[in-house]
Amino acid sequence: MVRTLTVPGRYDQLEAVCQFVTVAAELAELGEKEIAHCQLAVDEACTNVIEHGYGGENVGNIEVRCEVAPGILTITIHDSARPFDPAHAPAPNVAPTSLDDLRIGGLGLHFMRQVMDEVQFSYENGGNTLKLVKQKK
Protein backbone atom coordinates (compact mmCIF):
# COMPACT_ATOMS: atom_id res chain seq x y z
CA MET A 1 0.00 0.00 0.00
CA VAL A 2 1.26 3.47 -0.88
CA ARG A 3 -0.03 6.69 0.65
CA THR A 4 1.07 10.25 -0.20
CA LEU A 5 0.68 13.55 1.63
CA THR A 6 1.76 16.96 0.33
CA VAL A 7 1.97 19.89 2.72
CA PRO A 8 3.24 23.46 2.51
CA GLY A 9 6.74 23.86 3.94
CA ARG A 10 5.65 25.30 7.29
CA TYR A 11 6.52 24.26 10.83
CA ASP A 12 2.83 24.05 11.75
CA GLN A 13 2.53 21.18 9.26
CA LEU A 14 5.07 18.94 11.02
CA GLU A 15 2.46 17.46 13.34
CA ALA A 16 0.27 16.45 10.39
CA VAL A 17 3.26 14.85 8.66
CA CYS A 18 4.23 12.94 11.81
CA GLN A 19 0.65 11.74 12.26
CA PHE A 20 0.55 10.61 8.62
CA VAL A 21 3.77 8.62 9.13
CA THR A 22 2.49 7.20 12.43
CA VAL A 23 -0.60 5.75 10.75
CA ALA A 24 1.56 4.22 8.02
CA ALA A 25 3.96 2.76 10.62
CA GLU A 26 1.04 1.23 12.49
CA LEU A 27 -0.24 -0.30 9.25
CA ALA A 28 3.24 -1.77 8.74
CA GLU A 29 2.89 -3.28 12.23
CA LEU A 30 5.95 -1.51 13.61
CA GLY A 31 6.38 -1.31 17.38
CA GLU A 32 6.17 1.83 19.53
CA LYS A 33 9.93 2.37 19.52
CA GLU A 34 10.14 1.97 15.75
CA ILE A 35 7.23 4.37 15.28
CA ALA A 36 8.96 6.94 17.51
CA HIS A 37 12.11 6.56 15.41
CA CYS A 38 10.13 7.22 12.23
CA GLN A 39 8.52 10.29 13.79
CA LEU A 40 11.90 11.66 14.90
CA ALA A 41 13.53 11.12 11.51
CA VAL A 42 10.65 12.66 9.56
CA ASP A 43 10.37 15.65 11.90
CA GLU A 44 14.11 16.29 11.59
CA ALA A 45 14.07 15.87 7.81
CA CYS A 46 11.11 18.19 7.24
CA THR A 47 12.48 20.78 9.65
CA ASN A 48 15.76 20.74 7.72
CA VAL A 49 13.91 21.18 4.41
CA ILE A 50 12.07 24.23 5.74
CA GLU A 51 15.01 25.79 7.58
CA HIS A 52 17.99 24.99 5.37
CA GLY A 53 16.53 23.94 2.01
CA TYR A 54 13.85 26.57 1.58
CA GLY A 55 15.40 29.11 3.93
CA GLY A 56 12.10 29.67 5.70
CA GLU A 57 8.42 28.91 5.70
CA ASN A 58 5.94 29.10 2.80
CA VAL A 59 8.62 28.82 0.11
CA GLY A 60 7.73 25.38 -1.24
CA ASN A 61 5.93 22.12 -0.58
CA ILE A 62 7.03 18.88 1.04
CA GLU A 63 5.73 15.60 -0.32
CA VAL A 64 5.77 12.57 1.98
CA ARG A 65 5.17 9.12 0.50
CA CYS A 66 4.80 6.04 2.67
CA GLU A 67 5.08 2.56 1.23
CA VAL A 68 3.68 0.04 3.69
CA ALA A 69 4.53 -3.67 3.74
CA PRO A 70 4.30 -6.16 6.61
CA GLY A 71 7.11 -5.28 9.02
CA ILE A 72 8.66 -2.56 6.86
CA LEU A 73 7.94 1.10 6.18
CA THR A 74 9.62 3.08 3.40
CA ILE A 75 9.22 6.84 3.74
CA THR A 76 10.18 9.09 0.83
CA ILE A 77 10.37 12.83 1.37
CA HIS A 78 10.60 15.05 -1.70
CA ASP A 79 11.09 18.80 -1.94
CA SER A 80 12.06 21.38 -4.55
CA ALA A 81 14.55 23.19 -2.32
CA ARG A 82 18.15 23.89 -3.25
CA PRO A 83 20.28 20.75 -3.66
CA PHE A 84 21.41 19.00 -0.48
CA ASP A 85 24.49 16.80 -0.42
CA PRO A 86 24.97 15.06 2.94
CA ALA A 87 28.68 14.64 2.18
CA HIS A 88 29.04 18.42 2.61
CA ALA A 89 27.10 18.61 5.88
CA PRO A 90 29.29 19.49 8.86
CA ALA A 91 30.10 16.61 11.19
CA PRO A 92 28.03 16.75 14.38
CA ASN A 93 29.67 17.28 17.74
CA VAL A 94 28.12 14.30 19.52
CA ALA A 95 30.53 14.41 22.49
CA PRO A 96 31.08 18.04 23.54
CA THR A 97 33.77 18.50 26.18
CA SER A 98 32.02 21.47 27.77
CA LEU A 99 28.75 23.37 27.65
CA ASP A 100 30.52 26.01 25.53
CA ASP A 101 31.10 23.35 22.85
CA LEU A 102 27.43 22.37 22.77
CA ARG A 103 25.48 24.04 19.99
CA ILE A 104 21.84 23.88 19.03
CA GLY A 105 21.15 22.07 15.80
CA GLY A 106 23.37 20.06 13.52
CA LEU A 107 22.30 16.65 14.80
CA GLY A 108 19.30 15.92 12.56
CA LEU A 109 21.18 13.91 9.95
CA HIS A 110 23.07 12.06 12.69
CA PHE A 111 19.80 11.16 14.45
CA MET A 112 18.22 9.98 11.19
CA ARG A 113 21.15 7.67 10.52
CA GLN A 114 21.07 6.34 14.08
CA VAL A 115 17.36 5.49 14.27
CA MET A 116 16.55 4.38 10.72
CA ASP A 117 17.68 1.20 8.97
CA GLU A 118 18.37 3.01 5.70
CA VAL A 119 18.91 6.68 4.81
CA GLN A 120 19.52 7.71 1.18
CA PHE A 121 19.66 11.17 -0.37
CA SER A 122 19.44 12.07 -4.04
CA TYR A 123 18.93 15.20 -6.12
CA GLU A 124 17.51 15.01 -9.62
CA ASN A 125 15.09 16.86 -11.86
CA GLY A 126 15.18 19.95 -9.63
CA GLY A 127 14.33 18.23 -6.37
CA ASN A 128 15.76 16.50 -3.31
CA THR A 129 14.56 13.04 -2.36
CA LEU A 130 15.22 11.42 1.00
CA LYS A 131 14.44 7.74 1.42
CA LEU A 132 14.06 6.42 4.97
CA VAL A 133 13.46 2.75 5.73
CA LYS A 134 12.42 1.23 9.05
CA GLN A 135 12.04 -2.49 9.66
CA LYS A 136 10.32 -4.23 12.53
CA LYS A 137 12.82 -5.71 14.96
Residue-range domain boundaries for the chain: 2-135
Instruction: Please tell me the predicted confidence (pLDDT) of residue 84.
Output: 83
Task: Indicate the pTM of the whole model.
Answer: 0.87
Instruction: Please tell me the predicted confidence (pLDDT) of residue 86.
Output: 72
The superfamily in CATH containing domain 2-135 is Histidine kinase-like ATPase, C-terminal domain (3.30.565.10)
Instruction: Please tell me the predicted confidence (pLDDT) of residue 102.
Output: 44
Of the candidates 131, 126, 109, the residue with the CA atom closest to the CA atom of residue 47: 109
Instruction: Please tell me the predicted confidence (pLDDT) of residue 108.
Output: 73
Exposed e or buried b for every residue in 25-64, given b needs 16+ CB within 10 A?
beebebeeebbebbbbbbbbbbebbbeebbeeeebbbbeb
Which of the residues in the chain have pLDDT under 50? Answer: 102-104
Instruction: Please tell me the predicted confidence (pLDDT) of residue 37.
Output: 97
